[in-house]
Amino acid sequence: MAETNYDLIIIGGGPAGLTAGMYASRARLNTVLVEKVATGGQILITDWIENYPGFPEGISGPDLSDKMLEQARQFDLKFEYGEVEKVELEGELKSITIGDKTLTAKTVIIASGASPRSLHVGEEKFHGKGVSYCATCDAPFFRDKTVVAVGGGDTAVQESLYLTKFAKKVYLVHRRDQLRAAKILQERALSNDKIEMVWDSVVTGMDGLFGVENVTIKNVKTEEETKVAADGCFIWIGILPNTDFLGDALEMDEWKFIKTDSNMATNIPGVFAAGDVRSTPLRQIATAVGDSAIAATMAEHYLEGH
């Protein structure tokens, strides 16, 4: 094969990317991990993780991220920081452009993760002024205040519970009449005096002079709208894959998540995907780690076969 900078380039430094980096570097592949901002991904903004094996008492997201990074570094994983602006994935030699730097490799693992989905009801002007997608980051700013939270999955419920450590009142708005979160999280939320459920409802707007002062909530069954006085709005209504930088370089599903086979291989030979960016029925730290162990191993086998 052609001369290249690396055997493997990993795009993304969350649990998937760090695990892939650890496996690949441990296998003595010349590997570089490319991360846009900081390693850790979404677990950096996760308050507490109870369902990752090996930590029966639970562990904070930042602490787990630190442990993963430390373990990956033990095997001399290399790092490059910057936003990927261009990819060339076809052929034997793959190239990744970061600013004025181009990295080349024989294989690539895309582990770029996903980002929170927006409501698109005008909340953009309140980013940093009452609107947040991260309770772990911003809950302390809402001590003894009233906030609206939106969503019904694990993240929404878990983060709403975290908000109650600071806020005096949390309105949890969900478009259905029951939550989708794990039963244990539902039980905690429904028994928490600081959380008031707002069923069958969606947020349709928010307003305020210098920050969020009111949130408009609409009942989807009666179509009645209510304006709730609130100091903030936390949004957890799903995620979007971080795949814009790929353009149409890979086969994706209708939501732009990358399609793979059971070996984490994409439709382009030598290119793999792992973690939340992949089209998969479950997105958890445990599944991201499993995906990446497979992806790194299959990348190693691909190199051996070529």
DSSP the chain: ----SEEEEEE--SHHHHHHHHHHHHTT--EEEEESS-TTGGGGG-S-B-SSTT-TT-B-HHHHHHHHHHHHHTTT-EEEES-EEEEE-SSS-EEEEETTEEEEEEEEEE---EEEPP--SSGGGGBTTTEES-HHHHGGGGTT-EEEEE--SHHHHHHHHHHTTT-SEEEEE-SSSS--S-HHHHHHHHT-TTEEEETTEEEEEEE-SSS--EEEEEETTT--EEEEE-SEEEE-S-EEES-GGGTTSS-B-TTSPBP--TT-B-SSTTEEE-GGGB--S---HHHHHHHHHHHHHHHHHHHHH-
Task: Tell me what pLDDT residue 249 has.
Answer: 93
Per-residue pLDDT reduced to its tens digit, 14-62 = 999 999 999 999 999 999 999 998 899 888 878 788 889 999 999 999 9
Confidence label for 4 from pLDDT (cuts 50, 70 and 90):
low
Residue of 47, 76, 100, 137 marked catalytic:
137
Q: Residue 124: is it exposed, middle or buried by C-beta count within 10 angstroms (0-12/13-18/19+)?
A: exposed
Question: What letters, b where the CB count within 10 A reaches 16 and e where it falls short, cover 34-61?
Answer: bbbeebbbbbbbbbebeebeeeeeebbb
| CATH of region 6-115+239-305 | 3.50.50.60
Identify whether the C-beta of residue 78 lies closer than 8 Å to the C-beta of residue 33.
Answer: yes
134 flagged as catalytic: yes
Are domains 6-115+239-305 and 118-235 of this chain identical in fold?
yes
User: Does residue 219 surpass a pLDDT of 50?
Assistant: yes
Residue of 7, 47, 134, 231 marked catalytic:
134
Pick the CATH number of 118-235 from 3.50.50.60, 3.40.640.10, 3.30.750.80, 1.10.3130.10: 3.50.50.60
233 flagged as catalytic: no
- Give the alpha-carbon dihedral of 164, 167, 171, 173, to 10 degrees: -70
Mean pLDDT of 200-215: 96
7 flagged as catalytic: no
Task: Tell me what pLDDT residue 100 has.
Answer: 86
User: Does residue 1 surpass a pLDDT of 60?
Assistant: no
Residue of 7, 47, 138, 276 marked catalytic:
138
Task: Tell me what pLDDT residue 27 has.
Answer: 97
Per-chain mean pLDDT for the chain: 94
Enumerate the domain spans of the chain.
6-115+239-305, 118-235
> Percentage of the chain surpassing pLDDT 70?
99
